[in-house]
Each structure stands twice: as C-alpha cells, then as structure tokens.
Amino acid sequence: MPYLTLKDGLNLFYKDWGNATGQPVVFSHGWPLNADAWENQMFFLGDRGYRVIAHDRRGHGRSDQSWARNDINTWADDLHELMAHLNIKDATLVGHSTGGGEITRYTGRHGTSWVKKLVLISSITPLMLQTPVSPHGVPMSVFDSQRAAMREDRSAFFYEVPKGPFFGFNRPNATVSEGLIQNWFNQGMQASFKSTYDTIRSWETDFRQELKDLNIPVLVIHGDDDQVVPFAAGGNETIKLLKKGKMRVYHGGPHGLPSIEVDRINTDLLQFLEER
C-alpha cells in the first residue's frame, strides 16, 4: 500500500487510482472517516479516464496516529506535501464536510497555482459554529456534547451518528442501510480517539476570507435536510462568498450525500469536471 512519509515523520496513506496520465481529482474525506468513503466516486471517475487520489487524514484509517497537530492548518499542509509528492497539477479538489474545510484552507495557505477547481459537498464552510455572523450555525453546546459523548463511550456515539443524522436514517420513511451504518462505524473506530476528538475543534474555523479570495470555479453541493452542517449555515452562505460559485441543492438530502446520493453526486461531479 502506498504511503508518504511527511516532513514531521508521520506516514500518510493514500490511494492513487485510474489513469495515471488523466486529469487529477483529489478527494478529502469527512469526519471520522477515511479514503474508503470516496470509493463510489473514485471508481466512477477512474473508470472514465480520470486520475483519482484520496488519502487517510493523519490519525485516520491507515495513516499514522498523531497525538498533536490534529488541526486544519496541518491537514492542509499534509495535502500540499502529498500533491507535491505525486506531482499533481491542475487538480480538482473535492471535499466532504471537514474535508471541505481542509481543501478551502489549502487554497488559503498554498494558493491555487496547482488547483483548477474546487467541489465542496456538505462542507463546514464558511463558519459552522453559531456566532453573531453565523446565526444559523451549530451552537458550541452541541460540539461540547459531542466531545462529552466521545469521552463517555466513543463506540456508542460512533454507532448513533450514522444510525441517525449523518445519513438521515432517523427521518420517517428513510431506507436504512445497515451496511452503510457498519461501514461508517468501522472507519470511525479505525481512527484514533485523539485525532477524532481534536477534529471537533476544526468545526469552529472561519473560512469566509478564503472563500472570498478564491478566483477559480467552485461547485457547492449541500442537502437542505443536512442535520450535521445546516444548509442555512453551510452551502447557503458559502455560495454567497464565491466569485465563481455554482450551487446544487439536494432537496431532502442528508449530510452523507456521497453515499446516499451516489449517482447524482457522480453525475454532478463529472459534469463540473467536463466544463471548460
């Protein structure tokens, strides 16, 4: 399995699939998952001639578990090291949830000279935390309760999240997939306690200026029934800050769109990639 040894000595796992000379698409996963969360999209695009890359964020999946530096700036720098290592140019970066924050911070710290387009799916941008400038955001008390739930019984918490709000399986008449629930749980428990606990702090990050500064095309995809990152605070506000933004609202869509709306996400991604 391919690993990159980062400058600080940590080993980062990644997948590099598809056409080695194809247009590169780089995926950043959500919390507390890993690169496996993107398999439907990677298979779809790889089968159509794209080069598709996804990594396990430090502390997650098969990457080394770090005690410190589990923060948005470090993740952006890790991604930059990976792209440099693989000599990736003119890439489209695709981020889900926390991964959307990661790729946005990447552009703020490393610019867009290596990046052609961005796709933000159910992203934590522009400011997930409820504040006077983000009144529709998530109260700090919710983040505190999630930290408390992890300290009390992480395994129970990591079962309830996919069983309920993440995929919208707590909604009436939802078609529940026990396989998706188990897969989410397995990925979450493979990640380190410390990394997943520290990640919650990243949801307090303000990405507004980075979004305003972007001068490349950005596709924003968000479900209007997202119970994790509310649409009113997420996609609805993100699109307002972008110079070259395009919005896709998935009516009734939950947070875990890449797994619940596989065909639609794949179609929207392909269409956006093919646009000149």
The pTM assigned to this predicted structure is: 0.98
Strands 91-96 and 218-223: unpaired
Q: Note down pLDDT in tens along the chain; length 276 residues.
A: 699 999 999 999 999 999 999 999 999 999 999 999 999 999 999 999 999 999 999 999 999 999 999 999 999 999 999 999 999 999 999 999 999 999 999 999 999 999 999 999 999 999 999 999 999 999 999 999 999 999 999 999 999 999 999 999 999 999 999 999 999 999 999 999 999 999 999 999 999 999 999 999 999 999 999 999 999 999 999 999 999 999 999 999 999 999 999 999 999 999 999 998
If one counts every other C-beta atom within 10 angstroms of the C-beta of residue 44, the result is: 18
Tens digits of residue pLDDT in 128-176: 999 999 999 999 999 999 999 999 999 999 999 999 999 999 999 999 9
User: Which pLDDT belongs to residue 260?
Assistant: 98
Name the active-site residue from 60, 96, 222, 255. 255
Rounded distance between C-alpha atoms, residue 256 and residue 262, angstroms: 10
User: Which pLDDT belongs to residue 1?
Assistant: 65
Give 232-235 contacts, CB < 8 A, sequence gap 24+. 232/136, 233/127, 233/128, 233/130, 233/134, 233/136, 233/137, 233/138, 234/122, 234/123, 234/124, 234/125, 234/128, 235/120, 235/122, 235/123
Which string of b and e fits 211-235 if b means at least 16 CB within 10 Å? beebeebbbbbbbeebbbbbbebbb
Name the active-site residue from 56, 78, 198, 226. 226
User: Which pLDDT belongs to residue 276?
Assistant: 84
Domains of the chain listed by start with CATH number: 3-274 (3.40.50.1820)
Rounded distance between C-alpha atoms, residue 40 and residue 246, angstroms: 23
CA distance between the termini of the chain: 35
> HSE-up of 234 (CA within 13 Å, CB side)?
28
Give yes or no: 56 in active site: no
Give yes or no: 226 in active site: yes
For helices 262-274 and 39-46, the axis angle rounded to 10 degrees is: 50
| φ/ψ of residue 269, rounded to 5 | -60, -50
Name the active-site residue from 28, 63, 66, 97. 97
3-class secondary structure, 4: strand
3-class secondary structure, 201: helix
State how far Cα 242 lies from the chain centre: 18
Give yes or no: 55 in active site: no
Angle CA 247–250–255, to nearest 5 = 105
The DSSP code sequence of 67-136 is SS--SHHHHHHHHHHHHHHTT--SEEEEEETHHHHHHHHHHHHH-STTEEEEEEES--TTT-B-BTTBTT
Strands 91-96 and 24-28: parallel
DSSP annotation of 138 reads: B
